């Protein structure tokens, strides 16, 4: 067999595109010198550039890049079978971290991502917020209208969540009618505002679908000074959610930033009114006297 006049580049970046090239085969002798002679101890290796209309060039490039050193027989369609296997693996990986019904991330992904965000906060100094949402009265929807209606509400809600969350946020279905949203690089005041918007959107969707559902939410911030573990921080936010449930549901609960002490209002007595009037008159006269002196 005649040696090649020119070495073939096996790098994926040098592969031809799928729309302009057919199946081709070239023989590249490993360690081939410029004069075409091959050392007897060096083996020959077949390099195939395979492309077709049904294999996108980027997938073909990635596949070959991850399968370096493979000798492919063009007669057994191995490359297409490898590509199919690659797609199946990606699909299985997606199923392992997403919720089947809603398409949001699942609890397994959430538990891992929460630890990642804590590590990121300690490294960068930027806080993040966690919202824990629980739907009020959702069980009654399944009991009175059926699980199909309940699933429809969850799917529509999660579609809305996917559309409205920021690209950097992680929305997860924690389980049943409970949802979590991790918001990186977010301070508590901003997080409270976002949580309140979610509260209003859920109420609006429930009204549109004619179901008696609201939401209770707990939210808190994890900053660089926090020493809680992922499990402890989640438990802290869960307690805020419990506070919202305990205090009548249909609200957002969060740690107090500027505590407001409410006092019981009462009517002013006649004696107090008379004292206030006399004080006002006295101050008015004194003001006029000072003005006259000036």
Residues 6 or more apart whose Cβ sits within 8 Å of residue 46? 25, 26, 27, 28, 71, 72
Cβ distance 199 to 215 under 8 Å? yes
Q: Give bridge partners of residue 247 from the DSSP assignment.
A: none
Tokens of 23: 């199946």
Cβ distance 189 to 257 under 8 Å? yes
Active site residue 134: no
Instruction: Give dist(CA 235, CA 246) in Å, integer.
Output: 16
- In our burial notation (b when 16+ CB lie closer than 10 A, e otherwise), range 232-247 reads ebbebbbebbeebeee
Instruction: Give dist(CA 64, CA 62) in Å, integer.
Output: 6
177, 190, 223, 274: the catalytic one is 177
> Three-state DSSP class for 104?
coil
Tokens of 247: 């205090």
Residues 6 or more apart whose Cβ sits within 8 Å of residue 232? none
Q: Residue 19, Cβ neighbours under 10 Å: how many? A: 10
> Three-state DSSP class for 29?
strand
Catalytic residues: 177
């Amino acid at each position: 067999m005649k040696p090649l006049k020119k070495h073939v580049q096996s790098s994926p970046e040098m592969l031809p595109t799928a729309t302009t090239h057919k199946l081709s085969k070239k023989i590249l002798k490993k360690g081939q010198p410029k004069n075409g002679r091959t050392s007897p101890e060096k083996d020959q290796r077949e390099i195939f550039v395979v492309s077709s209309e049904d294999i996108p060039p980027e997938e073909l490039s990635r596949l070959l890049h991850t399968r370096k050193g493979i000798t492919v027989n063009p007669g057994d369609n191995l490359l297409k079978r490898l590509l199919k296997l690659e797609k199946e693996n990606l699909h299985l990986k997606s199923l392992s971290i997403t919720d089947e019904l809603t398409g949001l991330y699942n609890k397994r992904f959430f538990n891992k991502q929460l630890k990642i965000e804590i590590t990121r906060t300690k490294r960068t100094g930027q806080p993040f917020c966690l919202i824990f949402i629980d739907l009020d009265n959702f069980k009654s929807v399944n009991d009175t209208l059926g699980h199909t209606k309940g699933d429809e509400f969850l799917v529509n809600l999660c579609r809305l969540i996917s559309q409205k969350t920021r690209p950097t946020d992680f929305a997860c279905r924690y389980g049943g009618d409970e949802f979590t949203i991790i918001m990186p690089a977010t301070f508590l005041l901003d997080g409270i505002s976002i949580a309140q918007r979610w509260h209003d959107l859920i109420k609006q969707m429930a009204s549109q679908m004619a179901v008696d559902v609201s939401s209770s939410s707990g939210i808190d911030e994890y900053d660089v000074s926090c020493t809680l573990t992922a499990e402890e921080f989640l438990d802290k936010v869960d307690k805020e959610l419990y506070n919202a449930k305990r205090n009548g549901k249909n609200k957002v609960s969060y740690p107090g930033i500027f505590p407001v002490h409410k006092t019981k209002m009462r009517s002013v007595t006649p004696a107090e009114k008379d004292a206030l009037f006399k004080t006002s008159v006295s101050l008015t006269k004194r003001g006029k006297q000072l003005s006259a002196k000036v």
